[in-house]
Structure 1
Amino acid sequence: MGILIALIVMGVSFYVQWRLKSKFEEYSQVGLSNGMSGKEIAETMLRESGIYDVRVVSVEGRLTDHYNPQDKTVNLSPDVYYGRSVAAAAVASHECGHAVQHATAYSWLQFRSQMVPFLSVASQYMQWIIFIGVLLINTTVIPLTIGVALFAVTTLFSFITLPVEYDASNRALAWIQKNRIVNEREYIMSADALKWAARTYLVAAIGSLATLLYYVSLLMGRRD
């Protein structure tokens, strides 16, 4: 049963990732009516949000866009940084949404950021601990118990990420609409692109929960 659920979640994840990439490709071909680039949109949103200590930079890769609260940078992939499309507008404003969250001390972002140092260490050992725990399950449940506890924290992190991502998208969409960065048609496309991006995080969270429940069932079965 656990394997079936894992396969279903994996299939849904592949589908959502495929849809996200196809949507990005589609909306990357739609030129923005105001002709602004992703870089220009990001810098405008930051400035109009009263944020002057965040830099907008270009990073290599595709769909590698992210906000780094450590060095206060909005990192945009070349397609977004230089792009003058609906997709570029949606992604650039979304990442700036995270910068606004940081500047306004958005509680869910703060909570997630506080978990990062622990998770960066735990992730290096968690899978090995779980692997050893499964091998030794008939001898002792201690390693698996520790592994499951660590995995539970990563699952919690994935669910905490959801309100952070959805809120960033809502901020982005509200700003680009209010400031007429996009017209009505472009707004609908932007909302659609960000909707599929958010679903990747949702599927990841559900997948993490399904895996956690599987490990818990192993642990509980051994204790019985």
Structure 2
Amino acid sequence: MRIISIVIFLLSLLIHQILKWKLARYASMQLRSGLTGAEIAAKMLQYYGIRDVTISCTQGHLTDHYNPVNKTVNLSETVFYASNAGSAAVAAHECGHAVQHAKGYAFLKFRSAMVPLLSFTSRYMMWIILIGIFLARTTLLPLEIGIGLFAVTTLFTFITLPVEFDASRRALAWINQQNIVSSQEYTAAKNALWWAAMTYVMAALGSLAELLHLLSILNRRRD
């Protein structure tokens, strides 16, 4: 099981690098419309009648995200100011989350509800697991609690998948229907979002593999 975790980790690194390469490649594909990521985001929010969401520029690379708490679409500088296939895809995708929020998309609501619990588990989970392994000869309770907390994080990664795929679906449908991109630009945007989605898939698989590894440790301690 540990070997599987390592393989998934290496694949995750590879996919992340491919995504960066794809976005860098599509950065040179300037949109015929000339719209920047920020302008595309504004148009998409306006189209869906969403007026309580703010679009902001955030520092860093691949730091784009939608915050349902303060209702902000946060776009990195390379997306906010850029006008290319990659920036169009990312901006529309993040607005796809805002659309999900406005429409009460079930999986987004479920994921948002899990965030407070996840903040607790991420802070204490590994310490509890380490203590559990250390005390396994005496009691298995701490290890069982730690693995239970890890299962919560694994569930979160899998709940994230439909949220991300649905946001991409909404984004691609909108930029295509509204003629934001040409057919060639649409193909590039779709490809960029596919590789972005694969990073979430690998994160979910990696978390599942690690959970199964911890369960195997627990089973050996019980024998």
Give the match's secondary structure for 1:74.
Answer: strand
Aligned to 1:51: 50
- Judge conservation of contact 2:172–2:190 (CA < 8 Å) in 1: yes
Partners of 1:56 and 1:14 in 2: how far apart?
30
Runs of 4+ in 1 over 3 A off after TM superposition: none
- Judge conservation of contact 2:2–2:210 (CA < 8 Å) in 1: no
Partners of 1:25 and 1:136 in 2: how far apart?
49
Partners of 1:111 and 1:158 in 2: how far apart?
12
Partners of 1:156 and 1:131 in 2: how far apart?
21
The CA deviation string for residues 142-162 of structure 1, in whole angstroms up to 9 with x for no partner, is 110000000001000000000
Aligned to 1:205: 204
- Judge conservation of contact 2:26–2:85 (CA < 8 Å) in 1: yes
Give the match's secondary structure for 1:76.
Answer: strand
Aligned to 2:122: 123
Aligned to 2:37: 38
- Structure 2 gaps of 5+ residues are none
The CA deviation string for residues 111-141 of structure 1, in whole angstroms up to 9 with x for no partner, is 0000001111121000100111111112211
Percent sequence identity over matched residues? 54
Amino acid corresponding to residue 219 of structure 2 in structure 1: M
Partners of 2:87 and 2:191 in 1: how far apart?
13
Aligned to 1:182: 181
Aligned residues: CA RMSD:
0.6
Q: How far has the Cα of 1:3 moved from its partner?
A: 2.2
Where do 1:15-34 residues align within 5 Å? Answer: 15-34=14-33
Give the match's secondary structure for 1:211.
Answer: helix
Q: How far has the Cα of 1:211 moved from its partner?
A: 0.2
Partners of 1:128 and 1:207 in 2: how far apart?
20
Aligned to 2:144: 145
With 196-205 and 128-137 compared, the bigger mean Cα shift is at 128-137
Aligned to 1:71: 70
Amino acid corresponding to residue 81 of structure 1 in structure 2: F
Partners of 1:23 and 1:131 in 2: how far apart?
39
Aligned to 1:95: 94
Partners of 2:68 and 2:213 in 1: how far apart?
34
- Judge conservation of contact 2:53–2:73 (CA < 8 Å) in 1: yes
Aligned to 2:194: 195
Amino acid corresponding to residue 74 of structure 1 in structure 2: V
Amino acid corresponding to residue 172 of structure 1 in structure 2: A
Aligned residues: 223
Amino acid corresponding to residue 85 of structure 1 in structure 2: N
Give the match's secondary structure for 2:137.
Answer: coil
Partners of 2:4 and 2:90 in 1: how far apart?
32
The CA deviation string for residues 58-110 of structure 1, in whole angstroms up to 9 with x for no partner, is 00101100000111100000010000111110000000000000000000000
Partners of 1:207 and 1:82 in 2: how far apart?
34
Partners of 1:8 and 1:136 in 2: how far apart?
30
Give the match's secondary structure for 2:136.
Answer: coil
Give the match's secondary structure for 1:182.
Answer: coil
Give the match's secondary structure for 1:125.
Answer: helix
